[in-house]
Amino acid sequence: MSAESLNPREIALQQFEKAADIMKLDPGLKEILSKPKIQVTVSVPVEMDDGSVKVFTGHRVIYNIARGPGKGGIRFHPAVTLDEVTALAEWMTWKTAVVNIPFGGAKGGIAVDPSKLSVGEIERLTRRYTAEIIKIIGPEEDVPAPDVNTGPREMAWIMDTYSMHIGRTENAVVTGKPGVLGGSRGRPEATGRGVYYVAMRAAEHKGINLVGAKIAIQGFGNVGSHAALFLHEHGAKIVAVSDATGAVFAKGDRIDIPTLFEKVQETKSVVKAAAGMSDVEIVENVKEGNLRVLTADVDILIPAALENSITSDIMKDIKAQVIIEAANGPTTPVAEEYLVSKGKLIVPDIYANAGGVTVSYFEWVQNRQGFYWTLEEVRERLKIIMDQSFDDIVRMMNEYDVPMREAAYILAISRVAEVTRMRGLYA
Ligand code: GLU
């Protein structure tokens, strides 16, 4: 086991401080920006189907609202802690600033394994959690969205619970809703599509031809599966994928991603989905499959699962030249330093997976205007923002002579710091 810290809050702070020091951020601003604005922890009692009562612990952290309302997803996962949610809320703050959309950063989570709950239990959990945090969320205050193990269904319940409390229908309180409730076209695919746009730019930057490039993807949830689909359509070869049930490897040239994608929608498992497919090797041992995906002999590695996938334990075995962080916090600072010293390009999470929150912003704008865009408009505008941000980050890389994460942080921190300085301190 490695001795490095795997606490996401410590890692997020370390990343912030490193960039803040390089850019010589004013000490007062550094102090302000290293602290969350609001941290709320709530007990969420739920009546289970068998009549018993269970109390779950939930959190919502609004890290910063200097540039606009809090923004960030809600995750349902057994490993959720206040430290993790705070780190994720901090990362959202930099993410919205990197892509220059008028939001701050926030995040929520409940420590729960939803696969062990019935739909009714998940609904009661979601609604009661919403009621517990209702004072701090709102279209102008803090706007939740999907994250790990939550999606349009949960967003519909949050939107309904909030609307019932205020006595009118308010759909701009959450993003990532079903289309009929005001969800934006292209929102479910948005993070994965953004990762695809990022891959185009990153490959070009590294002199790799994305058509024919070999890619491994860790995580085949909403983000990993959509990224795989778009990259496959583009002509890239996805040769290895994994999820919480195991891994699948191409025996031939590439995995038939459209077929795998379709089957995963029903089976929720890459192992089950690949069962009837030809030309694939299936690894049911989750640990072994995961390790083989992360260390596969590929050009591009896309971690699209949870934090701390790429640690000092495996850093020396990573073969990919480009790592695109579709997940939040997948690479530890120790592993990053090593990989960067080997000339690898790590495209940081706060930019790489910002496609999701960018289309969330589009959804919020459409909800407030009551005027809805076509899928083509969403895709075009997303591409413009992702491309512009890539150019902005590369400019910072050149200006400060730093790797991509520090450059993205400097860009983001300077934007949040500028408004904070200009607004001044209310006393
Ligand atoms: N949960 C996603 C993220 O980590 C999306 C957040 C949002 O759309 O607000 O970026």
Does any domain span residue 184?
no
Q: How is 81-102 classified by DSSP, letter by letter?
A: -HHHHHHHHHHHHHHHHHTT-S
CATH of the domain at 332: 3.40.50.720
Q: What is the pLDDT of residue 352?
A: 98
Same domain, 204 and 130: no
Where is the domain boundary, 319, 347, 375?
347
414 alpha carbon to ligand 1 midpoint, in Å? 21
Same domain, 270 and 331: yes
Q: Which residues are catalytic?
A: 107
Same domain, 139 and 216: no
Same domain, 61 and 115: yes
Same domain, 55 and 166: yes
Q: Supply the range of the domain harboring residue 162.
A: 37-174
CA distance 376 to 337: 39
Q: 254-287 pLDDT, tens per residue?
A: 999 999 999 999 999 999 999 999 999 999 999 9
328 alpha carbon to ligand 1 midpoint, in Å? 10
* Nearest C-alpha neighbor of 330 from the set 405, 240, 248: 405
316 alpha carbon to ligand 1 midpoint, in Å? 31
Could you say which DSSP state residue 179 is in?
A: G
> Is the CB of 221 within 6 Å of ligand 1?
no
Same domain, 48 and 121: yes
Q: How many domains does the chain have?
A: 2
CATH of the domain at 117: 3.40.50.10860
Same domain, 80 and 201: no
Does any domain span residue 32?
no
Q: What is the 3-state secondary structure (H, E, C) of 92-158?
A: HHHHHHHCCCCCCEEEEEECCCHHHCCHHHHHHHHHHHHHHCCCCCECCCEEEEECCCCCHHHHHHH
Residue 301 has pLDDT above 70, yes or no: yes
> Is the CB of 360 within 6 Å of ligand 1?
yes
> Is the CB of 145 within 6 Å of ligand 1?
yes
Residue 394 has pLDDT above 90, yes or no: yes
Residues of the chain with pLDDT > 90, as a percent, come to: 99
> Is the CB of 105 within 6 Å of ligand 1?
no
Q: 64-115 pLDDT, tens per residue?
A: 999 999 999 999 999 999 999 999 999 999 999 999 999 999 999 999 999 9
To test the ligand 1 pocket, which listed residue (147, 193, 325, 351) has its Cβ within 8 A of the most ligand atoms?
Answer: 147
Same domain, 77 and 145: yes
Describe the crossing of helices 355-369 and 82-98 by its angle, rounded to 10 degrees: 70
Same domain, 336 and 213: yes
> Is the CB of 71 within 6 Å of ligand 1?
yes
* Nearest C-alpha neighbor of 249 from the set 300, 290, 191: 290
Q: 219-242 pLDDT, tens per residue?
A: 999 999 999 999 999 999 999 999
Where is the domain boundary, 330, 347, 364?
347
CA distance 368 to 400: 39
To test the ligand 1 pocket, which listed residue (360, 362, 365) has its Cβ within 8 A of the most ligand atoms?
Answer: 360
Question: Under a CB-based contact definition with an 8 Å cutoff, are residues 140 and 155 in contact?
Answer: no
> Is the CB of 173 within 6 Å of ligand 1?
no
Same domain, 142 and 269: no
To test the ligand 1 pocket, which listed residue (90, 174, 357) has its Cβ within 8 A of the most ligand atoms?
Answer: 357
Question: Under a CB-based contact definition with an 8 Å cutoff, are residues 312 and 335 in contact?
Answer: yes
For 396, the token pair is 């910072």
For residue 189, CA distances in Å to 37, 47, 214, 221, 226 come to: 31, 34, 22, 11, 6
Where is the domain boundary, 321, 347, 373?
347
Does any domain span residue 404?
no
Residue type for 192, please?
Answer: G
Does any domain span residue 362?
no
Same domain, 78 and 166: yes
Q: What is the pLDDT of residue 77?
A: 98
Same domain, 198 and 340: yes
